[in-house]
A and B are shown apart, each in its own frame.
Chain A
Amino acid sequence: NAGVTQTPKFQVLKTGQSMTLQCAQDMNHNSMYWYRQDPGMGLRLIYYSASEGTTDKGEVPNGYNVSRLNKREFSLRLESAAPSQTSVYFCASTLDSLGANVLTFGAGSRLTVL
């Protein structure tokens, strides 16, 4: 099915471990986003990529890095995981501008850092 695919769905890490969340879309979208969702705080933007080859920080970028590998893929890396990064992570994409296009979300990745 067309859409946004993110992996893994669940992950448990120990403090200090690293991992990469993978995201791929097959809708030929230009813009891609990584959000985290925490109880009572709503969705917060970590990083985004307005087009292939560009990335920009969002609201909460500290502790994360991203790579826009190609037009389809946008990965999120935690170099040294901390308990504060326990969250549900969502990847999303849109064709171009959020002022004119809806956002399509992945199913989410639940990360627990012990």
Chain B
Amino acid sequence: KNEVEQSPQNLTAQEGEFITINCSYSVGISALHWLQQHPGGGIVSLFMLSSGKKKHGRLIATINIQEKHSSLHITASHPRDSAVYICAVTPGTDKLIFGTGTRLQVFP
């Protein structure tokens, strides 16, 4: 069993839909990161969380440390949101453990 599990693995949505991607982890962490990778593109850091909730534009990330769970929400989804979203956790300070990603496709 992977230490970081994401669900779903693949997700399709119509433009405008509210999207949720989940991340569960099994180790103690100091922080959780959400990353975005567009097809054929580089990787961009969206959020780093150690507690609570963060919001940036249409993206919201939440974390529940007790339940070892985080969610990434996208409101009013758009085709440009189509990408792979990767959850990663920091058990210490030097390294990240990555999930295998959630592939999101948003259709017009």
In whole angstroms, what is the CA distance A45 to B91 when docked?
14
**B1 near A: Cβ within 8 Å?**
no
- Docked complex: A22-75 residues within 8 A CB-CB of B: 31, 40-45, 48, 50, 56, 58
Given A98-B31, A101-B48, A102-B48, CB of A90 within 8 Å of CB of B95: no
Q: Across the interface, do A102 and B33 meet the contact criterion of CB distance under 8 Å? A: yes
Q: Across the interface, do B100 and A99 meet the contact criterion of CB distance under 8 Å? A: no
In whole angstroms, what is the CA distance A58 to B97 when docked?
11
Q: Across the interface, do B94 and A50 meet the contact criterion of CB distance under 8 Å? A: yes
Q: Across the interface, do B50 and A99 meet the contact criterion of CB distance under 8 Å? A: yes
Instruction: Report B35 CB to chain A, min CB distance, Å.
Output: 8
Max count, chain A CB within 10 A of own CB: residue among B93, B94, B100:
B94
In whole angstroms, what is the CA distance A107 to B43 when docked?
7
Q: Across the interface, do B94 and A98 meet the contact criterion of CB distance under 8 Å? A: yes
Given A104-B45, A106-B42, A107-B42, CB of A99 within 8 Å of CB of B98: no
Q: Across the interface, do B94 and A105 meet the contact criterion of CB distance under 8 Å? A: no
**A15 near B: Cβ within 8 Å?**
no
**A80 near B: Cβ within 8 Å?**
no
- Interface residues, chain A, CB within 8 Å of chain B? 31, 40-45, 48, 50, 56, 58, 90, 92, 97-108
- 18 pairs across A/B with beta carbons < 8 Å? A42-B86, A43-B96, A44-B98, A45-B95, A48-B94, A48-B95, A50-B94, A90-B43, A97-B94, A98-B33, A98-B93, A98-B95, A98-B96, A99-B92, A103-B45, A105-B42, A105-B44, A106-B42
- Interface residues, chain B, CB within 8 Å of chain A? 30-31, 33, 35, 41-45, 48, 50, 86, 88, 90, 92-96, 98-101
